[in-house]
């Protein structure tokens, strides 16, 4: 817990110390492009500010994520994209000093409502992390974990079915069907990450948040996950944070560019990578910094 | 010169050797550029090397001399004694020598010492004085000669740093082997005495006997004390008390560890954790008071009250396994909680995030992910606490009594292996009777049991330690 706080603070410190910070931290700014959708928004966020203690990490971000859309969030390290992603299923609650203000809604329901139970929220908005983090249990138990704690199945046969379907959707079934009871930690990095995706899918979430899911993987495993993201978008809404602009270009429908805690530009992915509206976006995607 | 002033002199010599060695290397250094570029090592190492040559051999010599000179002087003294005295048996000769030594120190030895004793006493004083003198001269000359040689050999090409580092490696190794050698020494002394014991009492009687009453007839005409050395009642008592202690300590320790690592705010944690660790610092004899004066009477009174209430005709003793076990359990809570807290905190945050991200509640996360991941470490901690409980003596002496009852009733008085070892060896005892020797056999069995437990604990921890990575 404290470790995480320290990391968060270090990130903030880094953001504040950057020379460009002075220029970019003027009080008000406008997000260019199309951050908001006219209809079909699965999640909509308005005026979101996030603070770690006294330091502000996210400034007045407004953004919609559409149904069955893949939204990529890009930006230099420490720009707040992971922090923002973690607000979407209240994973930031685990950090004591973190404070979130603004409206964040999932299908019109305020997810920061003090009366809201965070457990069903996280079942509806699942998360896949940067480093594969399978539990020290068998492959089967890893996938069965969510359905069991949420009481989604009542009989062993149903559980078997959920496990198989989830592993199939995560294109891992063929590789592990003969060793379902071997420990999940014994898989390769790419398989572990697909196991974590299967684990998330098993709960049947509506939105899947992915925090740099491929940064610890080799190109082949990355290609498999990217293929998987394309398939998953038929059933799920996906928000993905990535450092790879090629990945953002390949998998996403819309791309959001964050810079020092501010949402600079949101546009269709094609437009962002060919003809961005904002000069900072252009500077970042052409590799002038970041 | 007395031994203590010899040590002071040697310390001064070592310091001087360091300064001179360092100075010589600086003088030999090439100062045409900044620093000391032509020296193989920094001047510190030349100084250290000279100091080591000055200190180590002379100190070793002094240590060896102090170890051997008592025996050598005794031998010289015996050679001087009149023939009929020198021919006495070993034990009697020892008495005579003791008398002579007392006489030399000016203590009273009896009405009128025999003339040969007075003469021997003055010889002894002379011998001791010359030995002391010889030691002083030898040590100081060794220190000076070796440091002068080392000092003369200093030159810029000398690999002083490597030599100093090798010397320190040897010194570190010597310190490390001290603990190991001591352990081996303890084991051997226990084993030899136990073998003595097993000559009079068969191993099977000892290990499987149900009766423990280690009273041996000291005189031939004493009645009815043949002794019974069955260790089972003692081990049952030990296990009973340890079990009660673990029933108290494991849930309390584990739950406080979970609270501290998962739920407590950092402010509470920073206050509660040191407070818990203070428990580990309280001397066990103080726990003993607490057990004997507060808990044991409380257990008895509430037991009496309960039995009266139920109308049961049961006896309850004022010393009970329950009282000792309860207090011992409190005592080992910090072992369990501190070790468990460390392993629970060591479970990566990513595990918790993974579980929370699936919509698990905090308690589900702790029960199904964090605890299983930390389980090997927790088990290791618990086993270490068990070894501690088995070895505990003071609380049991004070609160559980000395009667070796073979019982599983926690309200009865029982005794443990360690307590019996203490009572067998306290006071004036013959060191060749089975009664005292049995203490060593008990020690051996206890040592084997705790060693096995520690081994299992370490093995469990090592085998599963990195499972979640």
Q: How far apart are the first and last CA of chain A?
A: 28
B465 to chain A: closest CA residue: A136
> Which domain covers residue A37, as residue numbers?
2-20+31-285
Phi, psi (rounded to 5 degrees) for B466: -100, 25
- Structure-block tokens of residue A256: 């959001």
Tell me how far CA of residue A116 lies from CA of A43, A90, A112, A149, B434, in angstroms. Answer: 16, 11, 7, 19, 75
- Structure-block tokens of residue B341: 């807290």
User: What would be the CATH architecture of the domain defined by B213-464?
Assistant: Orthogonal Bundle (1.10)
Hey, is the C-beta of B363 within 8 angstroms of any chain A C-beta?
no
- Beta-carbon pairs below 8 A across chains A and B: 82
Q: What is the dihedral of CA A45, A232, A78, A250, to 10 degrees?
A: -110
Residues 6+ apart with CB under 8 A from B305: none
**Once rounded to an integer, what is the mean pLDDT over residues A85-109?**
90
Residue A218, pLDDT score: 84
Residue B185, pLDDT score: 92
B353 vs A119, A133, A136: nearest CB:
A133
Report how many domains make up chain A.
1
> Mean pLDDT score of chain A, rounded to an integer?
86
Residues 6+ apart with CB under 8 A from B248: B325, B326, B328, B329, B330, B333
Q: What is the dihedral of CA B418, B423, B428, B434, to 10 degrees?
A: -70
Rounded to the nearest angstrom, the minimum Cα separation between A137 and chain B is 9
**Which stretches in chain B have pLDDT values below 50?**
none
Hey, is the C-beta of B350 within 8 angstroms of any chain A C-beta?
yes
Query: Is A233 inside any structural domain?
Result: yes
Query: Is A215 inside any structural domain?
Result: yes
CB B449 within 8 A of CB B231: no
The domain that holds A226 is classified in CATH as 3.40.50.300
A129 vs B353, B373, B468: nearest CB:
B353
Hey, is the C-beta of B352 within 8 angstroms of any chain A C-beta?
yes
Give CA–CA dist A187/A136, Å, rounded: 11
Residue A215, pLDDT score: 85
Residue B216, pLDDT score: 65
Cα–Cα nearest to A87, from A215, A256, A209, A258? A209
> Mean pLDDT score of chain B, rounded to an integer?
86
Strand order through the sheet with A55-66: A55-66, A41-52, A98-106, A109-110
Give CA–CA dist B322/B296, Å, rounded: 8
A132 to chain B: closest CA residue: B350
A127 vs B266, B351, B357: nearest CB:
B357
Hey, is the C-beta of B265 within 8 angstroms of any chain A C-beta?
yes
* Test the B interface: residue of A138, A149, A150 with most B CBs within 10 Å: A149
Mind listing the pLDDT tens digit for each residue in A89-100? 999 888 888 999
Residue B219, pLDDT score: 61
Query: Is the pLDDT confidence value at A20 over 80?
Result: no
Residue B136, pLDDT score: 93
Query: Is A80 inside any structural domain?
Result: yes
- Check if the interface score ipTM surpasses 0.95: no
Neighbours of A267 (CB within 10 A): 22
Q: Where are the domains of chain B?
A: 3-158, 213-464
Query: Is A26 inside any structural domain?
Result: no
User: Do residue A199 and residue B349 have CB atoms under 8 angstroms apart?
Assistant: no
Phi-psi region of B362 (alpha: psi -120 to 50; beta: other; left: phi over 0): alpha
- Chain B residues in contact with A138 by the CB 8 A cut-off are none
Mind listing the pLDDT tens digit for each residue in B28-53? 888 788 777 788 888 899 999 999 99
B364 vs A149, A185, A200: nearest CB:
A149
Give CA–CA dist B246/A181, Å, rounded: 34
Phi, psi (rounded to 5 degrees) for A117: -85, 125
User: Do residue A126 and residue B361 have CB atoms under 8 angstroms apart?
Assistant: no
Give strand pairing partners of B229: B212
Confidence band (pLDDT; 50, 70, 90) for A25? Answer: very low
Confidence band (pLDDT; 50, 70, 90) for A1? Answer: very low
A88 to chain B: closest CA residue: B357
Mind listing the pLDDT tens digit for each residue in A229-258? 998 899 899 999 998 888 999 999 999 999
Give CA–CA dist A119/B398, Å, rounded: 52
Hey, is the C-beta of B351 within 8 angstroms of any chain A C-beta?
yes
A203 vs B359, B361, B468: nearest CB:
B359
Q: When comparing pLDDT for B212 and A51, which is higher?
A: A51
Hey, is the C-beta of B270 within 8 angstroms of any chain A C-beta?
no
Q: What is the largest CA-CA distance in chain B?
A: 101
Give CA–CA dist B245/B328, Å, rounded: 5
């Amino acid at each position: 817990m404290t470790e995480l706080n320290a990391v968060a603070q270090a990130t903030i410190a880094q953001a504040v110390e950057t020379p460009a910070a002075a220029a970019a931290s003027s009080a008000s700014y406008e997000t260019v492009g199309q951050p908001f959708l006219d209809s079909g928004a699965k999640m909509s966020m308005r005026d979101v500010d996030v603070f770690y203690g006294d330091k502000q990490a996210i400034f007045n971000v407004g953004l919609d994520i559409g149904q069955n859309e893949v939204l990529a969030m890009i930006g230099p390290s420490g720009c707040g994209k992971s922090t923002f992603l973690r607000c979407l299923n209240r994973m930031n609650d685990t950090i004591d000093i973190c404070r979130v203000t603004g409206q964040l809604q999932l299908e019109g329901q305020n997810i920061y409502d003090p009366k809201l139970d965070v457990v069903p929220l996280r079942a509806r908005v699942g998360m896949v992390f940067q480093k594969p983090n399978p539990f020290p249990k068998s492959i089967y138990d890893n996938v069965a974990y969510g359905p069991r704690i949420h009481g989604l199945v009542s009989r062993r046969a149903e559980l078997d079915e959920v496990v198989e379907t989830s592993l199939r959707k995560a294109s891992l079934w063929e590789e592990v069907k003969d060793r379902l009871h071997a420990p999940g930690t014994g898989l390769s990095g790419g398989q572990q990450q697909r196991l974590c995706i299967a684990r998330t899918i098993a709960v049947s979430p509506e939105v899947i948040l992915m925090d740099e899911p491929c940064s610890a993987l080799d190109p082949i495993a990355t290609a498999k996950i990217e293929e998987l993201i394309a398939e998953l978008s038929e059933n799920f809404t996906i928000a993905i944070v990535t450092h790879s602009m090629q990945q953002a270009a390949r998998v996403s429908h819309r791309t959001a560019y964050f810079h020092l805690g501010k949402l600079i530009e949101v546009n269709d992915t094609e437009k962002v990578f060919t003809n961005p509206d904002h000069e900072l976006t252009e500077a970042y995607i052409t590799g002038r910094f970041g | 010169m007395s031994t203590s002033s010899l040590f002071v002199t040697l310390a001064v010599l070592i310091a001087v050797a360091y300064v001179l060695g360092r100075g010589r290397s600086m003088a030999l250094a090439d100062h045409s550029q900044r620093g000391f570029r032509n020296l193989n090592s920094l001047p510190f190492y030349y100084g250290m090397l000279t100091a080591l040559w000055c200190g180590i051999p002379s100190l070793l010599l002094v240590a060896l001399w102090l170890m051997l000179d008592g025996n050598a002087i005794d031998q010289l003294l015996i050679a001087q004694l009149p023939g009929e005295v020198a021919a006495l048996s070993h034990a009697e000769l020892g008495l005579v020598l003791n008398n002579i030594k007392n006489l030399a120190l000016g203590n009273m030895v009896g009405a009128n010492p025999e003339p040969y004793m007075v003469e021997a006493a003055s010889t002894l004083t002379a011998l001791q004085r010359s030995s002391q003198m010889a030691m002083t001269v030898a040590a100081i000359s060794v220190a000076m000669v070796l440091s002068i040689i080392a000092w003369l050999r200093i030159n810029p090409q000398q690999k002083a740093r490597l030599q100093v580092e090798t010397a320190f490696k040897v010194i570190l190794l010597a310190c490390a082997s001290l603990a190991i050698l001591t352990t081996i020494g303890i084991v051997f002394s226990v084993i030899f005495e136990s073998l003595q014991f097993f000559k009079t009492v068969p191993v099977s009687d000892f290990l499987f006997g149900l009766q423990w009453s280690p009273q041996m007839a000291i005189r031939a005409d004493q009645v009815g004390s043949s002794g019974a050395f069955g260790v089972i009642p003692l081990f049952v008592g030990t296990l009973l008390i340890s079990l009660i202690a673990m029933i108290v300590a494991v849930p309390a320790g584990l739950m406080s560890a979970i609270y501290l690592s998962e739920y407590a705010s950092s402010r509470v944690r920073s206050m509660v954790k040191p407070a818990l660790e203070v428990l580990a610092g309280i001397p066990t004899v103080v726990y003993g008071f607490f057990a004997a004066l507060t808990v044991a009477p409380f257990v008895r009174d509430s037991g009496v009250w309960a039995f009266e209430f139920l109308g049961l005709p049961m006896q309850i003793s004022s010393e009970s396994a329950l009282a000792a076990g309860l207090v011992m359990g409190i005592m080992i809570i910090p072992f369990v909680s501190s070790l468990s807290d460390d392993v629970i905190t060591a479970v990566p945050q990513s595990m918790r995030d993974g579980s929370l991200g699936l919509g698990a509640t905090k308690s589900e996360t702790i029960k199904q992910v964090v605890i299983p991941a930390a389980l090997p470490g927790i088990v290791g901690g618990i086993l270490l606490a068990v070894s501690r409980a088995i070895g505990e003596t003071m609380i049991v002496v004070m609160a559980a009594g000395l009667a070796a009852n073979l019982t599983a009733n926690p309200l009865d008085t029982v005794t443990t292996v360690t307590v019996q070892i203490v009572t067998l060896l306290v006071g004036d005892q013959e060191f060749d009777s089975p009664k005292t020797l049995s203490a060593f056999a008990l020690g051996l069995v206890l040592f084997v049991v705790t060693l096995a437990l520690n081994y299992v604990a370490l093995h469990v921890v090592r085998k599963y330690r990195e499972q979640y990575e």
